[in-house]
């Protein structure tokens, strides 16, 4: 009977784990870049006129 090659199996598990971690890292990076792109545009559009004028409490 053939002997199991544990080193090969471990290497395959490690490679799969690393590829999943890389995919997760890329998804997080894309999500973060999407938020960075949208955040300034939303904050500029949601501003009310006169809000940054001191003493304009009406």
Distance CA 30, CA 36 (A): 10
User: Does the predicted model carry a pTM greater than 0.95?
Assistant: no
How many Cα atoms occupy the beta-carbon half-sphere of 28 within 13 Å?
Answer: 6
Q: How far apart, in Å, are the Cα atoms of 40 and each of 6, 7, 50?
A: 52, 50, 19
pLDDT at residue 57, rounded to an integer: 61
The mean per-residue pLDDT over the stretch 34-40 comes to 74
Lowest mean pLDDT among 2-6, 7-11, 12-16, 43-47: 43-47
């Amino acid at each position: 009977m053939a002997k199991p090659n544990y080193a090969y199996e471990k290497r395959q598990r490690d490679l799969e784990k690393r590829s999943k971690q890389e995919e997760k890292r890329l998804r997080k990076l894309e999500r973060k870049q999407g938020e960075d792109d949208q955040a300034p545009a939303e904050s500029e559009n949601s501003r009310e006129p006169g809000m940054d004028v001191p003493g304009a409490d009406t």
